[in-house]
């Protein structure tokens, strides 16, 4: 599914303005001319001017906090993503985000990840089948879970990729024996276990590492040759950048 980031982000900003302004100035974004000095993804330094706005002071001040809230958080996400991507740039591993996003701000936060050089995992529960540990347990095992998903997709005439999470080598072997998935997620495997698992998988399926991966060990995982590394902390545990708006 192709996502129109700008269109979806505009919708979120409109809703956020309505929430924040109430009966106040509803025309802030349309009445304030702006001059941007930086593009999305540009590196900024302390003291850099990102943009200028001109307009009625009441309109500028009405939109100030909302604009800064978005800019600070999304810049923090993009910065954290860039730092991680740079750590493994010498490998072929792709950094992914997750669904661990702020409610109603997912599209904006995932856009920030892309701006930072990462890639997007699924956008919701609707665009990919991801069989997690709870699904496996409720279904009665790895193979029954895969079969149930296959049957569902056939009945609903849906063409969705299937990813399955494995917690140990026993579950991994069951997936390898049965197949019928597109990607295998190695959950909480150590780098050494990941290397062993990749040898067993032998490029038959896409591979993804997840769980307890930080800036301190991500390179060890990437060096194993795993295709993807997903990091929930990119969007749920980040430090916003310190930005401010000054009158001149």
d(Cα 3, Cα 208) in Å, to the nearest integer? 22
Active site residue 114: no
Closest CA to 129 of 160, 151, 97, 166: 160
The gap from C-alpha 1 to its chain's centroid, in whole angstroms, comes to 15
3-class secondary-structure state, position 46: coil
183 CB-near residues (< 8 Å, 6+ apart): 161, 162, 163, 164, 205, 206, 207, 208, 227, 228
The two three-digit tokens of residue 153, written as one number: 């997709």
Active site residue 109: no
Backbone torsions φ then ψ of 125, nearest 5 degrees: -80, 0
Active site residue 165: yes
Of the CA atoms within 13 Å of residue 29, those in its CB half-sphere come to: 13
**Identified catalytic residue from 56, 65, 204, 239:** 65
H-run or E-run covering 184: strand 183-187
CB neighbour class for 125 (10 Å; exposed up to 12, middle 13-18, buried from 19): exposed
**Identified catalytic residue from 25, 40, 64, 100:** 100
**Identified catalytic residue from 97, 109, 163, 165:** 165
**Identified catalytic residue from 114, 132, 167, 183:** 132
**Identified catalytic residue from 8, 20, 64, 187:** 187
The two three-digit tokens of residue 129, written as one number: 């089948």
User: Which of the residues are catalytic?
Assistant: 65, 100, 132, 165, 187
């Amino acid at each position: 599914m192709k996502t129109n980031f700008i269109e979806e982000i505009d919708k979120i900003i409109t809703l956020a303005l309505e929430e924040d302004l109430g009966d106040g100035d509803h025309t802030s974004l349309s009445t304030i001319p702006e001059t941007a000095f930086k593009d999305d993804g540009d590196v900024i330094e302390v003291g850099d001017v990102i943009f200028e706005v001109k307009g009625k002071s009441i309109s500028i001040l009405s939109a100030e906090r909302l604009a800064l809230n978005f800019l600070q958080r999304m810049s923090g996400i993009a910065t954290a993503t860039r730092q991680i991507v740079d750590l493994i740039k010498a490998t072929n591993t792709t950094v992914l985000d997750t669904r661990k996003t702020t409610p109603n701000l997912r599209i904006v936060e995932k856009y920030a990840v892309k701006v930072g050089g990462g890639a997007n995992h699924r956008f919701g529960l609707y665009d990919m089948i991801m069989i997690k540990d709870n699904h496996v347990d409720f279904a009665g095992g790895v193979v029954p879970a895969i079969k149930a998903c296959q049957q569902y997709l056939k009945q609903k005439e849906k063409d969705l990729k299937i990813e399955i999470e494995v917690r140990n080598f026993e579950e991994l072997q069951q997936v390898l024996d049965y197949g019928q998935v597109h990607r295998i997620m190695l959950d909480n495997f150590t780098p050494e276990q990941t290397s062993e698992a990749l040898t067993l998988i032998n490029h038959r399926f896409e591979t993804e590492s997840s769980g307890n991966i930080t800036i301190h060990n991500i390179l060890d995982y990437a060096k194993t040759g795993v295709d993807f590394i997903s990091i929930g902390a990119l969007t749920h545990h980040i430090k916003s950048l310190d930005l401010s708006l000054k009158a001149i």
